[in-house]
């Protein structure tokens, strides 16, 4: 998740103080890892330097800081560009797991056990996320669902690979 652009997006809803911005972030996205104040102000300084936001002067807000910040036209353009540029689907875990599987086959080691260990770890994490959904807000439920569906996709790859392990073993050894 890009914290800089997420903060820029939150600021795009209305001009805010850094203190309020941090709490908005935590409410929507910080259930597991709240943002540090230092990170918020460092990000705001960087956004100002890049011309994506500006200060509106000093006013009293809910927190100790006095400055209010507002998104510039350049900032709004950057937000639109960010929102409508698709992310590159990440496949890091599968790539790593694929490498482990091939290496295990090359070494004559137990690749099926390797996949079982990973499956168990994935299922354990899925149970944690499913438990975390109980009584959670809809936003947190959907955040957990996002993670659950991604883990499930990995599991499907694990199951498919486990089912084709003999075939893969022959190809790896023949290569």
Site string (118-157) toward another protein, x via CB under 8 A:
-xxxxxx-xx-xx---x-------------xx-xx--xx-
* Residue 18 and residue 62 in contact, taking contact as beta carbons nearer than 8 Å: no
* Interface positions, 43-82, toward another protein (CB under 8 A): none
Q: Which is nearer to another protein, 76 or 119 (CB)?
A: 119
Q: Which is nearer to another protein, 70 or 112 (CB)?
A: 112
- ∠ CA 159-32-123, nearest 5°, is 20
Burial 48-60 (b: 16+ CB within 10 A, else e): eeeebbbeeeeee
- ∠ CA 151-154-160, nearest 5°, is 145
Asked if residue 166 binds another protein (CB under 8 A), the reply is: yes
Instruction: For 17, list phi and psi in degrees, rounded to 5.
Output: -85, 160
* Interface positions, 102-121, toward another protein (CB under 8 A): 110, 112-113, 116-117, 119-121
Residues that bind another protein (CB under 8 A): 110, 112-113, 116-117, 119-124, 126-127, 129-130, 134, 148-149, 151-152, 155-156, 159, 163, 165-166
């Amino acid at each position: 998740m890009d914290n800089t652009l997420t903060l820029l997006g939150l600021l795009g809803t209305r001009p805010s103080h850094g203190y309020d911005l941090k709490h908005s972030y935590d409410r929507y996205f910080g259930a597991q890892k709240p943002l540090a104040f230092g990170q918020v102000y460092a990000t705001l300084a960087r956004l100002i330097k890049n011309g994506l936001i500006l200060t509106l002067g000093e006013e009293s807000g809910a927190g100790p800081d006095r400055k209010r910040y507002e998104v510039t036209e350049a900032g709004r353009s950057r937000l639109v560009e960010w929102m409508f540029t698709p992310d590159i689907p990440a496949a890091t875990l599968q790539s790593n797991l694929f490498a482990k599987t091939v290496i295990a086959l090359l070494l004559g080691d137990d690749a099926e056990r390797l996949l079982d260990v990973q499956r168990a770890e994935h299922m354990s994490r899925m149970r944690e996320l499913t438990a975390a959904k109980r009584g959670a807000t809809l936003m947190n439920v959907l955040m957990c669902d996002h993670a659950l569906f991604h883990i499930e996709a990995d599991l499907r790859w694990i199951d498919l690979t486990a089912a084709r392990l003999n075939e893969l073993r022959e190809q790896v050894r023949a290569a």
